[in-house]
Structure 1
């Protein structure tokens, strides 16, 4: 569901010091090259090489519960991923992350003005629900800094580029798809005052008319570009109850065909990093910066058993006490039953398993490629190997009835998951799910709440208030079981006990906020169909970023 996730000199991931290069006009500690990498720098630079763009990466505040409730935040991996290549291309790069403090837009504008950047690059992993806020920021920024270039990237603008450029003239350029190579070419053209209308992977205006250039080639080798870790203060980011944490990607994309997924087409093809080099980077993050927890942003990091096993063995050899969490498929856990001890030894403590629906017919309809039997076996196997199974269940499909929700609760009780999380089926114009949802009525008109934690489409047989109550009853019933309470407060493994307590505390705060918001703050109406709300009857080409390798 998720990111977008929202990203040039090729660096090998060998972690050795690199001397800092002085700038003609130093702009702070973030305007430097990374403290690691294998690139050898020339002792003298020409005047052309000393030229640079002053670039600000802006991570906007997000209204979603996931940003506001945990009181902990993870670094914005998408922006760091484009920050590294930009720094290595010689530009001065700063990161302004205003999500943790939820700064008001006036304060954000003041902070940007203080930095005096040549260009602002805006992106957020929850790009759909963050989009209205991005538009507000862009408009205020242009008023304060008319000459600034505003560049916008992420999943939502990648597909809705025409709508965005027509509706928000303050946004100058959209980066479509992966950004590591595109932004370097774009900044080079802007720096030289050259035309950028032929740069692949962007959308722009030509004579006031939106135009998309040809797709950029997908990045074959994910180790070609490094993450700009020097852009963050590691002490400012934590998760899991105060543990210093970061987000990484082992892979991009997913080989499976779930109809509702908003990520598969964006990444176009499943690719992976070198397993050994990633293990070395994680070890470096722990030894040099004290990182304790790694959150994988992958849709499906375990897609290749061979490569995932190589990564686990390499990380075990590094012998660093890190916690690994992320998402995977129940089928992969069952497939790897004989190597789950390697998962545990490498540091895997929790994987999110999406069960999505309980009936076989619905699983087939949404192309989940799983069965209840497989899901239950995966949860059991993870528990047997000292790991936590976080089971997500999706609701909001059109044909659901009260009887279906009762069956869902009974099936979840049979699964006996350690943790559960509810999500709502959400349509996007670039997914096959849009085809079957386009004539349904939208009940949530605020795009900021299209975050998978709010019901956005009406269900034919059950009103929204009763869907909400069913979800809360299911969550309460599952979390209040004697087994769940025992694992939370009396489990013999302190790591699992800590994880269970932290998740329970977060869940209580989320439940209170969701309930207050639903009944007293949010407004719902059914004035538009999904196709009207999302701007058209036709879906976008899901693999619009694809280019033959």
Structure 2
């Protein structure tokens, strides 16, 4: 069969302000498990700067039997539009949709969009193998695990697909099916990797632990290094971003990956996300020697009461210690902060902004709490009638989505703008930018964020 996997046209805030689009790694993984038995094409509309009409043209040219569409919450309207185009081009094609949003709202998605036939829930590799066999052979879908689908006027919600225990078994993503040279940051080719899946922590604002069953699975260092060798040697790429929720969760494994990079002598730079309670001086220094240039730390709040309330399970002292360790090793720090938690007050938001400025971090990302489907905070907002809108396109972490007692939408937007301006327009930050010319796309992005927020407030 012909299978077309599509990342729909969506001008995200990140792309708008930073000008960087990441490869659709999930689609590339699915392509790898499908391509031995099917003809597979990936359309990354964002990196190709495609319009909906461009997508239509590609679908007419390829004329696929199955169209698979990935999406996140704010891109759902665009995903629905692609589904309609697919049916316009070929009425009898099977339209499948996946991603975190539809995983948690499969029935609602099918009700919202008549052009979608099947939802793939959660981890997709094994599910799409079963699904494509069933579609190709014209057999019932009721035994295909991990899907929700239409059967006449009914919607059938099948049993979940068990998670893949040994993720080394998953073939490497099919980067050759992507316009690889177009993925650049500041004019330098880069790519992304996923060395683990899942998160054992249950923060109320994050869906990751629910998406992957509440536990963590890591690839072996050997498997990770094999993929890195391909990226470095075959694709001549020296810049990598690890997309793991917490790259350093298993410190021994992280050290072994770093040892391998050092042993190979690869001239590579990379960034990763971490929790402040998983970092040691020994590990961080080894990460630096292995080419790590930046760590993304989920700090979230400068108020301990808020951190406790959202289940973050870290302390402000741990944050301070982790930042010192990372900075002393010569690695840059991007701290992530959220304002507008259900229990936030004007005082606690001010504490968060003040705390961010007190830390010796290089970059700060501020966002307004967005209750994404699948998170406890989304359920809380629905149960207590706190959602301001169900227009999914607004779920961008820049607009207020839920009511916060004692804080207006206007105040939240104002705080977000002030957070960025007060953090970045400081002499020490500006001097740091002048001194450090590496990865200037981040710095340009920050300037653009501030301008973007000025235009929305």
User: TM over 0.5: same fold?
Assistant: yes
Q: Hey, what does 1:121 align to over in structure 2?
A: 68
Work out the CA distance in 1 between the residues paired with 2:380 and 2:139. Answer: 45
Counterpart-to-counterpart distance in 2, 1:326 and 1:453: 23
Matched, 1:233 2:179: yes
Q: Distance in 1 between matches of 2:149 and 2:141?
A: 9
Whole-Å separation in 2 of the counterparts to 1:460 and 1:171: 38
Which residue, 156, 159, 171 being the options, matches 1:211? 156
Aligned to 2:272: 326
2:195 to 241, 244, 250: 250
Distance 2:105 2:349 in 1: 34
Distance in 1 separating the partners of 2:181 and 2:442: 22
| Pair 1:177-2:122 in alignment | yes
Shift of 1:427: 1.6
1:37-76 matches, cutoff 5 A? 53-76=1-24
Instruction: Verify the 8 A CA contact 1:300 1:329 in the aligned structure 2.
Output: yes
Distance in 2, matches of 1:167 and 1:411, equals 42
- The match for 1:383 is 327
**Change in 2 beyond 3 A, CA 1:177/1:409:** closer
In 2, the alpha carbon distance for the partners of 1:102 and 1:466 equals 35
Q: Which runs of 5+ in 1 are unaligned?
A: 1-52, 492-496, 520-549
8 Å CA contact retained: 1:279, 1:318: no
In structure 1, how many angstroms separate the alpha carbons of the residues matched to 2:305 and 2:114?
Answer: 46
Q: Distance in 2 between matches of 1:362 and 1:513?
A: 28
**Equivalences for residues 448-463 of structure 1 within 5 A:** 448-463=393-408
Q: Superposed, which structure 2 residues align to 1:300-315 within 5 Å? A: 300-315=246-261
* Structure 1 residues 7-406: aligned runs within 5 Å: 53-88=1-36, 90-124=37-71, 127-226=72-171, 227-239=173-185, 241-268=186-213, 269-333=215-279, 336-406=280-350
Instruction: Indicate the SS of the match to 2:119.
Output: strand
Query: Is the 1:283–1:315 contact (alpha carbons within 8 Å) kept by the matching residues of 2?
Result: no
1:61–1:100 CA contact under 8 A, matched in 2:
no
| CA shift for structure 1 position 480 | 2.0
TM-score normalised by L of structure 1: 0.80
Q: 1:359-413, CA deviations, whole angstroms, 9 ceiling, x for partnerless residues? A: 2111111110111111111112111111111011100123433333332222222
In the alignment, is the contact (CA less than 8 A) between 1:353 and 1:391 conserved in 2?
yes
- d(CA) in 2 for partners of 1:195, 1:443: 40
How big is the alpha-carbon RMSD for the aligned residues of Structure 1 and Structure 2?
1.7
Deviation of 1:102 (Å) = 4.1
Give 2:428's match in structure 1, choosing from 483, 504, 509.
Answer: 483
Aligned to 1:472: 417
Cα distance, 1:122 vs. partner? 0.6
Which SS does the other structure have where 1:196 is aligned? coil
Measure, in 2, the Cα distance between the counterparts of 1:413 and 1:431.
Answer: 29
How far apart, CA to CA, are the structure 1 residues paired with 2:124 and 2:316?
38
Aligned residue pairs, count: 454
Q: Deviations over 1:68-108 (max 9, x none)?
A: 332232211000010001013x2111111111244332332
* Separation in 2, partners of 1:470, 1:166: 37
| CA displacement, residues 498-535 of structure 1 (integer Å, 9 cap, x when unaligned) | 13x3322111112222322x24xxxxxxxxxxxxxxxx
Instruction: Give the whole-Å Cα distance in 2 for the aligned partners of 1:420 and 1:366.
Output: 20
SS at the partner of 2:35?
Answer: helix
Cα deviation, residue 116, structure 1? 0.9
Contact preservation (8 Å) 2:204, 2:375: yes
TM-score under structure 2 length normalisation: 0.95
Q: Deviations over 1:231-255 (max 9, x none)?
A: 123211112x122111111100011
Q: CA deviation at 1:429?
A: 4.2
Alpha-carbon displacement from aligned partner over 1:313-347 (angstroms, at most 9, x marks no partner):
112212111111121101112xx212222100111
Larger Rg: 1
In structure 2, the CA distance between the partners of 1:435 and 1:194, relative to structure 1 (3 Å rule), is: closer
Q: Deviations over 1:102-137 (max 9, x none)?
A: 43323321221111111111113xx11111111122
